[in-house]
Chain A
Amino acid sequence: MASFGNAFSSSIGKKLIMGITGLFLISFLVVHCFINSLIIVNDGGLTFNMGAHFMGTNWIIRAMEVVLFAGLLAHIVQGFRLVFQNRAARPERYAVNNGAANSKWYSRSMGLLGTLLLIFLIVHISKFWVMSRFTGIPTVDANGNHDLFAVMVETFKNPWLVLLYVLAMVSLAYHLLHGFSSAFQTLGWNHKKYTPLIKGFGFWFSIIIPLIFALMPIVMYLGYIN
């Protein structure tokens, strides 16, 4: 009888889930980065708050938010399961293992980098998202939109949080440096014509997006945007 069988529970199926959810989370990064970049207008947050208002009220975005959390959860749960299963595949470790001779450290540390990102996400979501959706943002701006920008300015007065955000973005950059092209390899898209493009694009994407994100708390802390 024809069935999907172990399509998703097999070793390749597990990779497929990581790859698809990973690429989906990458697409979310682009949207998030664009909306946040509106602070560059430097108009006391009016434009940014308009963007935040749109993200908070548009029903397509709100529906995608549920998909986003589902994708994030799948990526995290599957990621941890893979870490433990893969460790179990080598019960006795090597006394000497020269991993640096054959692979990049960050490709061997996706679990660690992902865990750092998870810790960051817990702080990040509790600082901004919970307030936006549930507890409510205390003030409104001149346009009558919730003043999320003011929350940002307040949050990034704390140098420790700025440091946490910058370090998290370094983790994100390394996570993406492996994850971006790795997802395409997992999907089977390894091709002499396309792979150099994917790798090149993935490299710059992995640097530029986290860099833009990291610059936001820095410029706010330094008072360039307020």
Chain B
Amino acid sequence: MSTGNMNLTLKIWRQKNNKAKGSLVDYKISEVSPDMSFLEMFDVLNEDLVAKGEEPVVFDHDCREGICGACSMFINGRPHGPKEGITTCQLHMRSFKDGDTIVVEPWRAKAFPVIKDLMVDRTAFDRIIASGGFISVNTGNAQDANNLPIPKVQADSAFEAAACIGCGACVATCKNASAMLFVSAKISQLAQLPQGQPERYRRVQSMVAQMDAEGFGNCTNTGACEAECPKGISLENIARMNRDFYSAKFVSEESI
């Protein structure tokens, strides 16, 4: 942890477009305040690059509050950097030391092709959601609260699954580039509530089929996803998805 301003070496993945071959490029950055966020440090670097007439580094970001799931940097070999339970935008430069070299790469997965530099195409996640991550409800006024009693433990568990922001850190860190933590969270947030029951067994089949079609790898239970997830999504969700999948395939007569 540092208190004074820092001089750092950044090794950043630069790639012109999806077809181009990329490489790590070195940048020296000086007078970095320890109070800056990691993305603010990138803003400073980019202003520098623009002033010099160079192409700024492209990276995804949106809310910068740790809740949208847009930022996606693989920092020194870990998604969202060295801290637990945060996204890149919530990582601050005080987590680094003066003189450090920081390697920044995009999420790497066949299903997440690089668009440019550190920005990857995560629409595979959107297509998985579209394939089954919804419920059917009547339009009109919302029901009275507590109309459908739900045990507290179950509501909490569904809510914990719903905390997933879909950033893709699980895929990025998984040695198999598997999306099972994400998909299981999106299945679990609905499978545990009464509103999610009508489509429950179609949903798990559709979403798993879409996940496989997108070219994500197969889970081998290393637990890296759970350890790196900024929202602490649990492996219990993957076990629940597996159970629902077996029920759908071996017990239910409903197919997709």
Residue positions of A touching B, CB distance < 8 A: 1-7, 10-16, 82, 85-86, 88-99, 101-104, 107-108, 110, 178, 182, 185-190
Contact = CB atoms under 8 A, between A and B. Distances in A.
Contact of B223 (A2, A85, A107): A107
B71 interface: no
Interface in B208-256: 208-209, 211-212, 215-224, 227-228, 235-236, 238-243, 245-246, 249-250, 253-256
A5 B249 contact: yes
Contact of B176 (A3, A10, A86, A185): A86
A102 B78 contact: yes
B105 interface: yes
Query: Secondary structure at chain A's binding surface: helix, strand, loop or mixed?
Result: loop
Q: Which of A2, A178, A187, A190 has the most CB of B within 10 A?
A: A190
B255 A99 contact: no
Contacts of B103: 95-96
A89 B222 contact: no
Interface stretch (B58-66, B108-116, B135-143): B108-116
Given A11-B218, A102-B223, A188-B240, 19 more contacts: A3-B255, A4-B250, A11-B208, A12-B242, A12-B245, A12-B246, A13-B249, A15-B219, A86-B176, A89-B111, A89-B176, A89-B218, A93-B108, A95-B13, A99-B175, A103-B223, A107-B221, A107-B222, A185-B242
Contact of B224 (A7, A86, A96, A102): A102
A191 to B, nearest CB: 8
Nearest to A7: B249
Interface SS of chain B: mixed
A14 B242 CA distance: 11
B24 interface: yes
B189 interface: no
B211 A11 contact: yes
B91 interface: no
